[in-house]
Amino acid sequence: MKMPTVKLGEICEINPRTDYDFDPDDPCSFVPMEAVDDVDARIAKITTRPFREVAKGYTPFAENDVIVAKITPCMENGKCAIGQRLLSGVAFGSTEFHVLRATKRVVPEWLFYFWRFSPTRRLAAVNMTGSAGQRRVPASFLETADIPLPEVSEQQRIVRRLEQADRLRRTRRYALDLADTFLPAAFRQIFGSRLQTGPFRAFGELVKITGGGTPARERSEFYQGRIPWLTSKDMKGDYIWDTEEHITEAATKQSATNLVPAGSILVVVKSKVLMHRLPVAIAKVPLCHGQDIKSIQCSGALRPAFARFVLKFHERRLLNLARGANTEGLTLPMLEELPVPTVSQSEQEQFAELVMQHECLHAVQRESLRQVEHLFDSLLHRAFSS
């Protein structure tokens, strides 16, 4: 049976008045925008400030109020949360939050999951006002947004199912994040002493490092081929199986970019991402890449699985070099001069086998997370599709 639909403003107060009585030195819960986790949709960390520091210029909200980001891109990214465990039942947050306060007709969690339903936020994005980079969801949109509204008992039943799926989703993601720490820790455990004391050889003596080129963008026909063309935006995982863009053989000749063989190590050498991390991956298919990436082909003395972790071990050092005053990124000498500990082929083979076993387990975990994400999205769709 189809659920009745009402206007959001009919069942909750939007940006309501919040009553509180604090002295200037009283501690208060403080929630800036960055404290709201846009993946798990919760307040990841509540800090405490004296009331005199938050009394003006912040948005007050109460226990069990739902806060939702109204500014781009935080809104589209899903920053929202339910206020819980607040000192004296009140918190002060960013002025870029809208506050939704449930009435007797709706439970707070129903409002919360309604906002987590991606079509809700897509519709909100269409109704944003303001200039580029400062666009916001107006309160008037919230007042008139349509929301399915079953009886409170049915809301609670559906919410319990959503919460179960949500918890499972967080657990799977936590397990995946935890698994990501295993191989770097194992690498340091197995090779730690040699990484510190050597003996060493220069990275450039053991590998061949090549650059890339970009086919002319005005030649659209160059980008209608079947050869994967890698850019820094494709460097999101440990392995590259395909790319967003593909080029033709004619494009490779025009741009003087060579086809990189499968098994090559790929490292981003020029990108804003180097402010935070060093993307390193292994090509699983032959491909070409642009100037912002270097490809590395290992000699017989160095296995790609081992070499990738050598680069990641030196990540902090390389990032510091990339942010130097006289450079815009990593140069060829910076890579070639990296110290590589002397490790036998058999030890590298054993580590490569460990990597392969871990990747098999990781694939199972990723699929498990995908299934739980699908379950959660399906439950949201079933609850809020009118």
The region that residue 15 occupies, defined by phi over 0 for left and psi between -120 and 50 for alpha, beta otherwise, is left
Return the H-helix or E-strand segment holding 201: strand 200-202
Q: What is the CATH number of the domain that holds 224?
A: 3.90.220.20
- Report, as ranges of residue numbers, the positions in the chain whose pLDDT lies below 50: none
Looking at the structure, do residues 313 and 357 belong to the same domain, yes or no? no
Q: Would 195 be classed as within a structural domain?
A: no
The answer to whether residue 192 is domain-embedded is no
- Contact predicate 127/141, CB 8 Å: yes
Asked if residues 87 and 29 have their Cβ atoms less than 8 Å apart, the reply is: yes
Are residues 330 and 205 both part of a single domain? yes
> Which H or E element spans position 66?
strand 66-69
Residue-level pLDDT at 328: 67
The pLDDT value recorded for residue 6 is 95
Do 315 and 356 fall into the same domain? Answer: no
Total domains present in the chain: 3
pLDDT value for 208: 93
Residue 135's domain comprises 5-149
| Distance separating alpha carbons of residues 140 and 9, to the nearest angstrom | 9
CA 358, CA 361: separation in Å to the nearest integer? Answer: 5
Give the predicted TM-score (pTM) of the model: 0.77
Query: Distance between CA 70 and CA 54 in Å, rounded?
Result: 20
Residues 305, 173, single domain; the answer is no
Please indicate, yes or no, whether residues 16 and 137 belong to a single structural domain of this protein. yes
C-alpha span between 95 and 82 (Å, rounded): 16
CA–CA dist 168, 172 (Å, integer):
6
Beta bridge partners of 102: 12
Domain assignment present for 240: yes
Residue 102's pLDDT is 97
> Which tokens is 133 given?
């980079």
Within a domain: residue 187? no
Q: Do residues 134 and 161 both lie within one domain?
A: no
Q: Under a CB-based contact definition with an 8 Å cutoff, are residues 105 and 149 in contact?
A: yes
Q: What are phi and psi of 67, to 5 degrees?
A: -105, 135
d(CA 62, CA 17): 10
Q: What are the beta bridge partners of residue 6?
A: 147
* Same domain flag for 40 and 163: no
Both 175 and 135 in one domain: the answer is: no
Please tell me whether residues 12 and 141 are part of one structural domain: yes
Both structure tokens of 42: 């919760």
**Domain assignment present for 186:** no
Is residue 213 located within the same domain as residue 113?
no
Q: Write b or e for each residue in 203-222: b if 16 or more Cβ atoms lie within 10 A of its Cβ, otherwise e.
A: bbebbebbbbebbeeeeeeb
Q: Is residue 165 part of a domain?
A: yes
- In a shared domain, residues 21 and 131: yes
| 193 falls within a domain | no
Q: Same domain for 281 and 319?
A: yes
* 137: exposed, middle or buried (Cβ count in 10 Å: 0-12, 13-18, 19+): buried
Does a structural domain hold residue 248?
yes
Contact assessment for residue 108 and residue 102, using Cβ atoms and an 8 Å cutoff: yes
